[in-house]
Structure 1
Amino acid sequence: MYNIWCPILLTVSQAFLAGALHTPRIFGVNGQSYEVGPPITANANAQSYSSTITFVDPHLSIQTVTVTSLPASQTAATSFDNQTSTQTGTIISSLETGGNPASLPFPTSLPTVTSATIQPLSSDVPFGTETATGPLSTITETITLPLTTFETVIVTQTVTTVPVETTAVTTATTVLNTTATINGTEVTTSIAGTTVLTTTGTALVETTLSAATTVTATAATTLTTGGSLSNLPTATASCLLSMGCSGQDVFEPIAITSPPSNIEQQGGHPVPRLGIQNTTGPIETNKFYQNFVLDTQEFPAFVMPYSLTWSQGSGNAQSYGMAISHIEDSQKSYGPAETDIPNSPDQYYINPLGIQSLILSAAEFGTSTVLTTDSLLVFSANVHLQASNGSSSILSMPLVQGMAFVTGQYVNLQPNIQSSVFFGSVTEAAQPKAGVFKYRITLLDGHVWLLYAIPTSGVDPNFQLISSTLLQGSANWYGDIQLAKLPDDSMEYLYDDAAGTYPTSGTVTGYAQDSKAQYSLSWTKGGAYSSNSTLLMFALPHHLESFDSNTAASVTNLTLATTTSGNSTAIIADYWVLEENELPTSLGFAPWRPANSSDSTVNLTSEAIAAIQKVSATEASQNMSAQTNLNSMYYSGKALSKFAQLVYTMHDLADQEDLAKTALLELESCFEVFSNNQQIYPLLYDTDWKGLVSSASYVTGNSGDDFGNSYYNDHHFHYGYFLHAAAVIGYLDPTWLTNNKDYVNALARDVSNPSSLDQYFPVFRSFDWYHGHSWAKGLFSSGDGKDEESSSEDAMFAYGLKMWGQTIGDASMEARGNLMLSVLARSLQSYFLMTSDNTNQPAEFIGNKVTGILFENKVDHTTYFGTDLSYIQGIHMIPVMPFSTLTRTQQFVAEEWTTYFADGAVRDATNITGGWKGIVYANFANINPTAAYDFFTQDDFDMSWIDGGASLTWYIALSAVLGGAPS
């Protein structure tokens, strides 16, 4: 929101594990409840029953349970034997008797195992699907998990196909006290002396690990049987990648410990957690559904390609349900034309709000209706409507980015499907699947929607068209209703095939090796047909560019326009695999070009070195403390980063090591003001939303202080500069890392914690792996949704993350930064930085070259702080750093320069004043380094042309290395 720049200065979900009848489950803590296989099988005369289960607890013992039946119609007495210290106990299992063979799971409780700890598996493990073929046989499927917490359970499940309604054998193995990384099926631990327990049959094997010892470890999967092999949820989607999970896991946690103790923990955030239920962990603050937990809850959630708005009695239907809208490109509004810019592009475009095409509602809803949420995750949230607080009748809607259906889960309500656009006709269609009732709806605007009703009881919902605004179903109804817009009748079969299943949450995983990376977006599923239907999900244009061959084969011809990201395309897949094959691995602190990515050598001519030395000593002698210890994390970070890049240039490029070391000592002192949390407005750890925020707004009461940092605005813009500065300092002085690493890691975790194992920060607060870029707006409601202005500072954070990871030796963080930079380059060039051949933004708008501010619902060629064209274009340049040549292609820079800054152009660079002039010319070095070098080395150079976040030293070095210095 307030991203202003001023030129003055481990659980697998129970739902998943219980997905099939009698599926083995392990859940509960401290032995309170377990339900596991194998089944108890009765013999032909129902006189004897026998089955044995073995599992390991973290207290160095194996428990074996043997069940022997009693006579028919009686219960079974189960003996419990602990091989460490013999105990006896009784486990009661009800057995089906009467002379017929039976099969059922056991036991339902183990009251004697009160000291065992079997933790749930991690909820962020995604599941792909693999189709098994052939006759009935034994199938083994594995999932790997990072081991970062004490007593983490790793489960290996061998699945044997058996007749209908039977369960599979599960063996649980607990690995104690490890901090390990799993690649494929190998766990590497760096802790010497760790004891790992595994089982061979029923024997306990103890292994003492030394550094770099590997252990085989896998985790649980489930199987639905029925006489033939079916889709098996497998490993993670990443482990189905063509690179086979080799290389570096990109999403290892940075840390899982509490933030530094010198950062005060405080509750009572100015923004209350409105209507959020069943949440004790971190809560996302910058996601698409944020409007539903803020203020009056009246603004939309932009799910793409749909938007959803709680109608609150508005519109022709006067409904209190959830209104669904999809906007066609023809409905966008434009204007006015910017006649000073070549080809007169329109200044903005916006999508209409308030169009309630269809509304998921209920007859019970009215003025007392309440909206609550839970499970606010990185790709999804659950939204609930109830007629009143505490009502057991509820309409729940899982919202997931890219979902093809808007799904309502009805519990004891009379469904009302309403429309403020008015129903033209409603026709009941043939059932596409057993128990799926289908209706075809044509609205008076001519658009067609499909309705699928899947009652829990199988009873016809019996929808009746009551009026032009109301389609009503049966009272006291239970089941799912799914709605989808049909743009083309020939695509109707795609919705039919996917009906009865929907995504419930999403996960990102990935691996990098050398300059290549593969990452996956995968989803957990719900619905009556989730076990045998594949998801239909909508992808954005930048996704299509990077799909691997298997995912590309799942692309359909079904498309729907999005509000600000071009056309979305439907994909038939439970997970997507995407590839980036040119990671900027050689990108470092020095000037760099993607075309020379294999050569990181920097050679400066003696003339260029002399030009740098002429100004560097003066710039290094500035009062660093006065420029860095400010009342703004943003401006302070910019200054720290500026001086860090200056010191690096002196030390590594300009043969000024001694001067650089002196300046480095002062820079370290300035940075430690922040790592000691002694700046003007120290950081707080907010225990309500869980994050590191400036205390400025707490002190002043002004939500806009420091651009809204206290309200989670712009954290990636602010903290990215700190990461870069720390990376340079640590690179030049590794001893400095000892006392400062945890602080810098905490900043990185606040913005882009990659793992739900870290319970102190939400997963990827700012970066949106669906959109491929970040959102700047935090806890502020907005009719136009989230937004981002400075695309270049978004990339700055990814660059700072990469370089900080490189400096501290965190290979996962470095690889993650590389991947984020590559994804950003793709998405920014798709949506923010528009060359003449851009097809994702409207033709009426692309002549602006940059979006200005991109919202979820509109794009406006302006800034939050002024309308000068050098500001609007420059906010997408700043800071001009080594990564700039990656995200801002030479074609784009050339077109932008010709449009705005060339001699005689609308904003001729020679006429720009202040710091923006230096920014524009530094950006010019990308395509004309000689002209940029000449500009920065002119004898009468005016230092007012250098903004407070840059140095002339760096700009000379940048343009020289890119080819501007005389030979």
Structure 2
Amino acid sequence: MRKPKDRRRSFLFPETKSSVLPEPARFFSKDLLSHPLPTNSFFQNFTLKNGDQAEYIHPYLIKSVDSSLSISYPSLFQISDYIYEVFKADLIISGSDKPNPHSRKSHLISSFSDLGVTLDFPSSNLSFFLVRGSPFVTCSVSDNLINISTSHGVRSFSGNSSSTRFSANLTNNQKWLIYASSPINLTKHGDSSIKCRGEFTGILRIAVLPGSNRDFETTLDRFSCCYPVSGEADFIKPFALEYKWQKRGSGDLLMLAHPLHLQLLAKDDRSITVLDKFRYKSIDGDLVGVVGDSWVLKPEPVSVTWHSIRGVNKDAYNEIISALVKDVNGLNSSAKVTSSSYFYGKLIARAARLVLIAEEVCYLDLIPKVITYLKNMIEPWLDGSFKPNGFLYDPKWGGLVTKQGSEDSHADFGFGIYNDHHYHLGYFLYAIAVLAKTDPLWGKRYRAKVYSLMADFMTLGKNGDHSTSSYPRLRNFDLYKLHSWAGGLTEFWDGRNQESTSEAVNAYYSAALIGLAYGDAHLVETASTIMTLEIHAAKMWWQVKEGDALYPKDFTAENRVVGVLWSTKRDSSLWFGPKEWKECRLGIQLLPILPVSEILFSDLKFVKQLVNWTLPALHRNGVGEGWNGFVYALESLYNKDGALKKIQSLHKFDDGNSLSNLLWWVHSRD
């Protein structure tokens, strides 16, 4: 993807000084402030308000408060409605504040990478290398007294003869191991703290023992001398993602893989060793030890296509064409032009679907009318003439905001504070891709602005190397969890969150279509790879199959899909509705219906479970008919005739859906 030469040109969209965005200067080092900054990252809570809310750095919950770092190996609270990880300050690491009036009490982010973040505490000369998936929390200490306290109590404390390895047994039955790169004089002090006598300079590594098996302790001892300080994730080729850690110390590197990592790890990679019995508990499933300096993840390839994968049944052409005529004729009359970037995007993407459906059923006469509609709708957002709203560039964090969002943090579902960027822009990109495919000259005219829209969440530049980029690296996609986050610059107790995985899939699918429209093979490959990972993650964590052991039994028994998935929580409710709105929970994980949707819902056994779980909810008073179409769409995967009759009886459709699209879907089933 091409990058602009000068970030301050804001890549073709006018700059704005938002009145609602938080200031990043408090928590980022000065050299980072001159680059685009992450707005949906795994450490986002460390950058917001007081920076004192916890973030999940697998396997620990980490909280930074008043120049100390609290570490929690969380327990899981569970009921049928939701499950979440409970933060309890198992260990609190602090140093003696230096009498420097210029030192700051809060933490400072001095560097970050795809897989880690470094928190400095300037007042006490402590730096923490928080690398995701490390069973150790690693701290660099410079001439300071170390204090380790706990919210429980220290039952016993002992060290080895060289004063480089210690074990602390707490009153909550946890055992923690402490390793030092050079001798340190640590002693138990009172009932709940461990103090250092004399200043220490060097590396401390701290890990909880995940079980009583003696082999666990031996494993931690063996790998205690090699520590990661950062980690990058590189798309080395299509459908291959490589993790590479920058490490220090000696020996081999031990990290932890979550269940999706284990599913995708390259089977032929002899450079790693999986320690299947070495496990930590996690809300995401057991984290398993993997030894190796780099991993390669290889998901099964998913091809991006404009049209249905198997083609439309020719016997259904007339029925689909009849619906197309009505939907196309109703574009201008029935579509109320909204100023919301989200609903506007859904409108134009809905219209663009009609073009591709018309191509499939060989009824091209309708296409010019839709193309004219799309140009009239899209161009004002690209040239800035849409008066109620528009895209602007925020130089503070480095990204697009809307005019409405720059003045009101609630407008456009929080787009102005970096919520849901991949959702909104994904819909715009879908419509633009269809338009550029159909009218290449139009596509060439607007290419620069189109690529700027896409780069807001699809920039691939390395962290710390943003001199030529207006946007941060992969704004929404989490390269450790392998799915996106939607919540932007809002502090949340439970960390980041995402509701609609299918709209995330749509974002990367649409970016791949942009690549197809412009002949950009690299973009097609990268966007397709990210889309594929998003699909794998949705199947792993959002789709709840009967009898699965990933989540607790009560939660699994009551839920077939997660409502909102958080860093440390799984909720059955939605942002816009309670758990009882099962049709909405299904729909928000399916919309928009596209060719790739059948890959997202390829497990027919699960689809039957999901539909049977949802159907009774349609008899509830107040159910919006537009949501029913999504339920019937999935039902058609195994009950085509019955679902078709239900779809034919519908009178209302979701604002991003249409009768034409539902008929196309049903008649392109096998």
Per the normalisation by structure 2, the TM-score is: 0.92
2:367 is matched with 660
1:77 is matched with none
1:767 is matched with 477
| Secondary structure in 2 matching 1:698 | coil
> Once the two structures are superposed, what CA deviation does each residue of 1:275-315 show, in whole Å capped at 9, x if it has no partner?
21121211111111111111121200211111111244xxx
| Residue pair 1:360, 1:416 contacting (<8 A) in 2 also | yes
Map 1:331-346 → 2, pairs under 5 A: 331-335=75-79, 346=80
> Once the two structures are superposed, what CA deviation does each residue of 1:83-133 show, in whole Å capped at 9, x if it has no partner?
xxxxxxxxxxxxxxxxxxxxxxxxxxxxxxxxxxxxxxxxxxxxxxxxxxx
Q: 1:742 to 1:268 in 2, by over 3 A?
A: same
Which is further off, 921-930 or 679-688?
921-930
Determine whether 1:474 maps to 2:197.
yes
Distance in 2, matches of 1:553 and 1:926, equals 40
1:741 is matched with 447
1:545 is matched with 263
1:371 is matched with 107
| Residue pair 1:548, 1:577 contacting (<8 A) in 2 also | yes
Q: 1:752 aligned to 458, 462, 467, which one? A: 458
Shift of 1:682: 1.6
Which is further off, 259-268 or 854-863?
259-268
Map 1:847-866 → 2, pairs under 5 A: 847=557, 848-866=559-577
Map 1:923-934 → 2, pairs under 5 A: 923-934=634-645
> Once the two structures are superposed, what CA deviation does each residue of 1:790-836 show, in whole Å capped at 9, x if it has no partner?
11111111211121111111111111122122222221111110112
2:41 is matched with 287
Q: 1:552 to 1:935 in 2, by over 3 A?
A: farther
Q: 1:491 to 1:657 in 2, by over 3 A?
A: same
Distance in 2, matches of 1:292 and 1:603, equals 50
1:275 is matched with 27
Residue type of the alignment partner of 1:932:
A
> Once the two structures are superposed, what CA deviation does each residue of 1:339-374 show, in whole Å capped at 9, x if it has no partner?
xxxxxxx11112222x11111111338997322212
Shift of 1:426: 1.1
Map 1:615-654 → 2, pairs under 5 A: 615-624=323-332, 627=335, 629-650=337-358, 652-654=359-361
| Residue pair 1:347, 1:861 contacting (<8 A) in 2 also | yes
Shift of 1:501: 2.7
Shift of 1:909: 9.6
Higher relative contact order (CA 8 A, sep 6+): 2
Q: 2:626 aligned to 915, 937, 949, which one? A: 915
Q: 1:471 to 1:710 in 2, by over 3 A?
A: same
Distance in 1, matches of 2:646 and 2:271, equals 47
1:198 is matched with none
Q: 1:425 aligned to 140, 146, 156, which one? A: 156
Q: 2:590 aligned to 851, 873, 877, which one? A: 877
Q: 1:797 aligned to 485, 507, 526, which one? A: 507
> Once the two structures are superposed, what CA deviation does each residue of 1:884-938 show, in whole Å capped at 9, x if it has no partner?
111122222111112221xxx35459994421011221232333333333333x3
Shift of 1:539: 0.9
1:9 is matched with none
Which is further off, 837-846 or 858-867?
837-846
Q: 1:462 aligned to 185, 190, 200, which one? A: 185
Tell me how large the CA RMSD over aligned residues is. 2.3
Q: 1:645 to 1:832 in 2, by over 3 A?
A: same
Shift of 1:385: 1.7
Residue type of the alignment partner of 2:320:
I
Residue type of the alignment partner of 1:439:
F
Q: 2:226 aligned to 489, 501, 516, which one? A: 501
Determine whether 1:437 maps to 2:164.
yes
Distance in 1, matches of 2:177 and 2:528, equals 42
Shift of 1:469: 1.9
Determine whether 1:729 maps to 2:443.
no
Q: 2:390 aligned to 672, 682, 691, which one? A: 682
Distance in 2, matches of 1:862 and 1:765, equals 25
1:961 is matched with 668
Distance in 2, matches of 1:846 and 1:294, equals 34
Residue type of the alignment partner of 1:407:
T
Give the percent of matched residue pairs that are identical in Structure 1 and Structure 2: 24
| Residue pair 1:803, 1:814 contacting (<8 A) in 2 also | yes
| Residue pair 2:392, 2:403 contacting (<8 A) in 1 also | yes
1:359 is matched with 92
Shift of 1:255: 6.0
Q: 1:518 aligned to 229, 233, 240, which one? A: 240
1:67 is matched with none
| Residue pair 2:273, 2:290 contacting (<8 A) in 1 also | yes
2:281 is matched with 561
Shift of 1:253: 5.9
| Residue pair 2:618, 2:628 contacting (<8 A) in 1 also | no
Higher helix share: 2
| Residue pair 2:271, 2:292 contacting (<8 A) in 1 also | no
Shift of 1:499: 1.8
Distance in 1, matches of 2:536 and 2:475, equals 20
> Once the two structures are superposed, what CA deviation does each residue of 1:838-870 show, in whole Å capped at 9, x if it has no partner?
222222212301111111111110111112221
Q: How many residues align?
A: 649
2:253 is matched with 535
Residue type of the alignment partner of 1:266:
T
Residue type of the alignment partner of 1:518:
A
Structure with the greater alpha carbon radius of gyration? 1
Map 1:246-257 → 2, pairs under 5 A: none
| Secondary structure in 2 matching 1:555 | strand
Determine whether 1:451 maps to 2:162.
no
Shift of 1:551: 5.8
Distance in 1, matches of 2:293 and 2:161, equals 26
Shift of 1:678: 2.7
Shift of 1:518: 2.2
Per the normalisation by structure 1, the TM-score is: 0.64
1:31 is matched with none
| Residue pair 1:349, 1:858 contacting (<8 A) in 2 also | yes
2:313 is matched with 604
Distance in 2, matches of 1:673 and 1:875, equals 28
